[in-house]
A and B are shown apart, each in its own frame.
Chain A
Amino acid sequence: GAVVSQHPSWVICKSGTSVKIECRSLDFQATTMFWYRQFPKQSLMLMATSNEGSKATYEQGVEKDKFLINHASLTLSTLTVTSAHPEDSSFYICSARDDPGNSGNTIYFGEGSWLTVV
């Protein structure tokens, strides 16, 4: 199946610094990518929809200035957590749809990125 690569898998950063997480679709083009956040033993919560060449669409309650999303190409979306705080520590997962022309196509997920803010 299609592959979505996410990097880094694990990252530890100091409070107040920024961290960038990359999401790449390796063998398909993705005009739309999605960023989720997952707390321990909980489900995935959609943070934002990343649209290639345009602004991301954020879910209610997600701070746009804190979670910067850039989708500069058809295979790459990045999530930057700015001025990170310990409460931002979480598992972040990206996903991508493999065919923008067919809304029923499968959405594939990256392996996730563990962020720990100390």
Chain B
Amino acid sequence: AQSVAQPEDQVNVAEGNPLTVKCTYSVSGNPYLFWYVQYPNRGLQFLLKYITGDNLVKGSYGFEAEFNKSQTSFHLKKPSALVSDSALYFCAVRDPGPAGRRALTFGSGTRLQVQP
């Protein structure tokens, strides 16, 4: 079975400071990993994904994430946070193997609050 854990319900950071939103995963094989952002009463917007290749993945709005196989982590990062980054962030995983689900499995979400 595939699963995702986002250990922090909320992350608070001051504008201009670096931010990290944590994510760990569990799949039987090599994972496909995704980050999405959700603004209030809206759907999910795709930020970035890791399928294969470089462990550091760059995505939309200056976000990046680092795939760490040994720690089974895929933390989302941004060097300098903006107030407009305040939103709900979801990490998701898919197991591409024959026994894996085609749908994404989501973490519980982390609310990012960036203070001016």
* Residues in chain A within 8 A of chain B (CB atoms): 1, 4, 6, 32, 34, 42-44, 46, 49, 91, 93, 95, 97, 103-104, 106-112, 114
Interface pair A104/B90, CB less than 8 Å apart = no
Q: Which residues of A contact B46 (CB under 8 A)?
A: 1, 106-109
Query: Which residue of chain B is the closest to A10 with respect to CB atoms?
Result: B41
Interface pair A103/B96, CB less than 8 Å apart = yes
Interface pair B104/A107, CB less than 8 Å apart = yes
* Residues in chain B within 8 A of chain A (CB atoms): 32, 34, 36, 41-46, 49, 51-52, 90, 94, 96, 101-109
- B16 CB, nearest partner CB in chain A, Å: 28
| Contacting residue for B102 out of A44, A103, A114, CB 8 A | A103
Task: Tell me the interface secondary structure of chain B in the complex.
Answer: loop
Interface pair A109/B32, CB less than 8 Å apart = no
Q: List 23 A-B contacts (CB under 8 A).
A: A6-B43, A32-B102, A34-B104, A42-B108, A42-B109, A43-B90, A43-B107, A46-B101, A49-B102, A91-B41, A93-B43, A97-B102, A103-B96, A104-B51, A104-B52, A106-B46, A107-B46, A107-B104, A108-B46, A110-B43, A111-B43, A112-B41, A112-B42
**In whole angstroms, how far apart are the Cα atoms of A111 and B101 in the complex?**
23
| Contacting residue for A109 out of B36, B41, B52, B102, CB 8 A | B36
**In whole angstroms, how far apart are the Cα atoms of A104 and B33 in the complex?**
9
- Residue of A6, A107, A112 contacting most chain B CB atoms (<10 Å): A107
- A18 CB, nearest partner CB in chain B, Å: 23
| Contacting residue for A106 out of B42, B49, B108, CB 8 A | B49
Interface pair A43/B34, CB less than 8 Å apart = no
Interface pair B34/A112, CB less than 8 Å apart = no
Q: Which residues of A contact B51 (CB under 8 A)?
A: 104
Q: Which residues of B contact A34 (CB under 8 A)?
A: 102-104
